[in-house]
Chain A
Amino acid sequence: MASQGPCEPLKLEITLHEMRGDVEKVQQVVSAALQERGYDADAMFAIRLCLEEALVNGFRHGNRFQPGLVVRFWATISEDEATFEVEDEGEGFDPAGVPDPTAEENLEIPSGRGVMLMRAYMSEVEYLGAGNRMRMVFRRTKA
């Protein structure tokens, strides 16, 4: 982890070993960095939600909670945008294979909404390589 001053972009690289605890640590570091750069409450809400979804997906669907497997996290947070990358040690994932959770016949299925929420709140979401690494960008809109 390295900080380069209050207005400079902050670059983070964190390895998460366990979901409970480590996800919250990431949230706290990111939240402090966003606040320092003047992100508003709506942006903080959106980013917190998307980080939770991405990191939990890494542990749950990627690593399938196997002990010893880690989730890697990178972030670059500037005053204009925040970019996050999350990589798990699983086999990868095809986001196109997730059924549309908003289709009437799927509304009562209790899973499959995380990716959709990330796409709704983030400016960009892409899955890289085999699908075990994802990148998402939140761009601030200027008033």
Chain B
Amino acid sequence: MSQAPIKIATDGGVTTVSFTERSIIDEVMIQQIGEALLKLVDSQPGLKMVLSFEGVDHMSSAALGVLITVNGRVKARNGQLRLCNIAKPIFEIFKITKLDKLFQTFGTEEQAVKSLA
């Protein structure tokens, strides 16, 4: 299986994950992202994770499903998850599905990281 299209960086106890593809819509890609994120969460109980959507301009309901699963796993491992840099059309998807109430979202990565301090 090829690598998930994500970049992982850790700084000051916060792990930031960003996407290297603009479109998170392909089913196989979404599955790879889900597996990589769950592996990351499982490897570090209490993980403080920021998911940055900078550059992402398309997303499907399957991607939302993965985010919900990852959020559940983060909570189960006593970690914290923040989302940031979500483009307006993508954030509209969160609002329609009311997932803006489930996730803590921030305008910038800096704000998201600060919220985990």
Contact = CB atoms under 8 A, between A and B. Distances in A.
A19 interface: yes
Contacts of B97: 101-102, 113, 116-117
A120 B102 contact: no
Interface residues of B, number: 25
Contacts, number: 58
A45 to B, nearest CB: 5
Contacts of B45: none
A107 B60 contact: no
A108 interface: yes
Given A20-B28, A45-B58, A49-B93, A113 B102 contact: no
Interface size band for A: 20 to 34
Contacts of B101: 107
A53 interface: yes
Contacts of B25: 48, 52
B46 interface: no
Q: Is the interface of A mostly helix, strand, loop or mixed?
A: helix
A76 to B, nearest CB: 24
A111 interface: yes
A9 interface: no
A126 B57 CA distance: 27
Give the dominant DSSP class at B's interface. helix
Given A109-B68, A110-B69, A117-B97, A49 B60 contact: yes
Nearest to A103: B98
Contact of A111 (B26, B57, B65): B65
A107 B94 CA distance: 11
B27 A20 contact: yes
Contacts of B57: 45
A52 B60 contact: yes
B94 to A, nearest CB: 10
Interface string A78-117: 0000000000000000000000011000011111011011
18 contacts: A20-B28, A45-B89, A49-B58, A49-B59, A49-B60, A56-B60, A60-B27, A101-B98, A107-B101, A108-B68, A108-B72, A110-B65, A111-B65, A114-B61, A116-B96, A117-B61, A117-B96, A120-B96
Interface of A: 19-20, 24, 42, 45, 48-49, 52-53, 56, 60, 101-102, 107-111, 113-114, 116-117, 120
Interface of B: 25-28, 57-62, 64-66, 68-69, 71-72, 89, 93, 96-99, 101-102
